Amino acid sequence: MEDLPVEIVRRLDHARRIERVLQQLGWFVAAIGVVGTGVFIGFWIADELSAEQAVSLVLGTMLATVLSGASAYGAGVNIGLGAARLELAAQASAADVPTHKESPLTGNSPASESSRADRPEN
């Protein structure tokens, strides 16, 4: 990463920090949901809630926990994957490696080569 431009390195570092925060948030939300479910089950065992109320609260809490925790964790993973793609693209650009759109032998795109092959020679 030392040969990459400063702006790209800064963006990569920022994306990696955001990735960690969102993944930790996802796990934190999951932990809060488990604690909340335990509290509702405790109230149900202590006969403070009817079976219908307890099941509704437990299922609602678990659904909200799974959806919000997975969303936060998934967003963090998505940001991390985007940062990895940016880093790979910047490294390829810095090394002047041909991209998938260029032929490694001629530097031309495959589309222009196929169009040349279709044309008759004079």
Per mean pLDDT, which range of 15-29, 72-86, 97-111 is the poorest? 97-111
Locate the domains of the chain by residue range: 6-118
pLDDT at 35 over 80: yes
Query: How many other C-beta atoms are found inside a 10 Å radius of the C-beta of residue 59?
Result: 12
Task: Place 3 in a pLDDT band, splitting at 50, 70 and 90.
Answer: confident
Structure confidence at residue 40 (pLDDT):
87
47-68, pLDDT tens digit by residue? 888 889 888 888 888 898 888 8
pLDDT at 121 over 80: no
Structure confidence at residue 4 (pLDDT):
76
